[in-house]
Amino acid sequence: MRKLYLTSLLTFLVCVLYAQEPVEQVYWTGDVTNNEKVLNKTKFRDNWFAGIHGGSFVSWGSYGSHLSFWRHVRPAGAVSVGKWLAPFGGVRLQAVMGGNIGQTDPSVIDKSYTWHTVGGSIDGLFNLTNIVCKYKEDRLFNLIFIIGVGLENTYKFSKEGWYDQYPINTRSRNRASWRMGLQASFRLNSVLDLTVEAVNNILDGSYDGQHAKNRVDGHVNAFLGLNYRFKNFDGTRQFTFLRRDASTVNALNDEINAQRAKINELERRQAATRVEKQVVNLAHVTTLIAFTPKSSEINELQQLNVYTAAEALKKLGNDADLYITSSAKPVDTDLFVGRANAIRTMLIEKMNVPAGRIFMEKDPAVIQSLDADQNCVIVYINE
């Protein structure tokens, strides 16, 4: 039985790990042509539930077949709390209490007796409906597969006068169990689900107090219950699909358009400056490296401009220098230094420009005052 329990525990842990696939960290990409549904981000406090269940234990074990089915049925109840880790998988803790009935060996003495069980389990939940049919927010019916492990205590055996003829071990004992079953869940409203479940619990052969030839005993939990879904951080009570927020999208588009306008204006001003400089002195070659707001990373498009500046420096000859400066005042010193160093590093490491020919000056007025006859490349940064 110990090997069976350890195998079940390992199987359950694998199932729980599988149920923790990171499906809840998915965001809408903003592509209006993409109709694929994605889930909103969730937090640890989301998608919790609690349940209360009532019904019966249907015991089975040593010589139990000699009792009629309805004599096996004894009252039982359970409470549970759990969390859905993803639309297709979750985990719960369940505490149960119920009664059992056993039967002696009729060839020796034909007697029945009762005892009680209290225990707890940790169960993996797998929503077969969502796995097969994909997730739907307001689906009315879900079929859920249950697999788990538990610990049960047997106690309060009935007092029978014939125990001296056919001894029953009435000592209270703890036993490991493994369990498997199905649950049918019916959505009543946004808060409550009606559940019907049957879970078979397998324990060692001494569960009924007898040491007969059978190696395992157990009971089936047949429960009718209610599950209450707690509220998520965003006010919902289940996983939800991301919906387009027109105001957010419009705001992002406005910001993008504003940044494009700033870049276009900088390029226009730079083009005018380039023409003016070339009229005065063709030895001064200028270019613009545009960064995204608050970033010091050179994107692929702007890497071409860095390459152009390096090639211009080579054409001007070994006596030419390269100056990195800002295109406007005032200057954010930290941001300028970060961007200038990014350009300088790329020029040195990828374009083989000698470090001694690269100068950084945040004040564009200093660069503009350079000797008109000096051969140089001027790189402006949009900040």
Q: Where are the domains of the chain?
A: 2-229, 269-381
- Contacts for 277-281: CB closer than 8 Å, 24+ residues apart: 277/378, 280/372, 281/372, 281/373
CA distances to 177, 197, 244, 336 from 31, rounded to whole Å, are 50, 42, 10, 33
* Structure token digits, residue 110: 């034909």
Q: What is the mean pLDDT of residues 129-146?
A: 95
Q: What is the mean pLDDT of residues 114-139?
A: 95
Q: What is the mean pLDDT of residues 246-263?
A: 65
Question: Which comes out higher in pLDDT, residue 234 or 96?
Answer: 96
Give 320-342 pLDDT, tens digit per residue. Answer: 999 999 887 777 788 888 999 99
pLDDT at 282: 55
Lowest-pLDDT choice from 64-73, 138-147, 237-246: 237-246
β-bridge pairing 48-60 and 73-86: antiparallel
pLDDT above 50 (res 164): yes
Measured CA to CA, the distance from residue 196 to residue 194 in angstroms comes to 7
pLDDT at 140: 96
Q: What is the mean pLDDT of residues 105-120?
A: 94
**The sheet that has 358-360: what strands, in order across it?**
284-289, 376-381, 321-326, 358-360
Phi and psi (nearest 5°) for 373? -90, 0
pLDDT at 244: 53
Burial group, residue 102, by CB count within 10 angstroms (0-12, 13-18, 19+) = buried
Burial group, residue 300, by CB count within 10 angstroms (0-12, 13-18, 19+) = exposed
Q: What is the mean pLDDT of the chain?
A: 84
Question: Which comes out higher in pLDDT, residue 300 or 33?
Answer: 300
pLDDT at 133: 94
Measured CA to CA, the distance from residue 227 to residue 123 in angstroms comes to 15
**Which residues 6+ apart lie within 8 Å of 169 measured at CB?**
206, 209, 210, 211
For a pLDDT cut of 90, what percent of the chain falls above it?
49
Are the C-beta atoms of 138 and 106 separated by less than 8 Å? no
pLDDT above 80 (res 156): yes
pLDDT above 60 (res 1): no
Lowest-pLDDT choice from 136-150, 219-233, 255-269: 255-269
> Cα-atom radius of gyration of the chain, to the nearest Å?
37
Question: Which comes out higher in pLDDT, residue 258 or 202?
Answer: 202
Q: Architecture of 2-229 per CATH?
A: Beta Barrel (2.40)
Q: What is the mean pLDDT of residues 49-70?
A: 91
Q: Amino acid identity, residue 245?
A: D
CATH number of 269-381: 3.30.1330
pLDDT at 154: 96
Number of residues written out for the chain: 383
**pLDDT-derived band of residue 58, with 50, 70 and 90 as boundaries?**
very high
pLDDT at 24: 38
**pLDDT-derived band of residue 32, with 50, 70 and 90 as boundaries?**
very low
pLDDT above 90 (res 82): yes
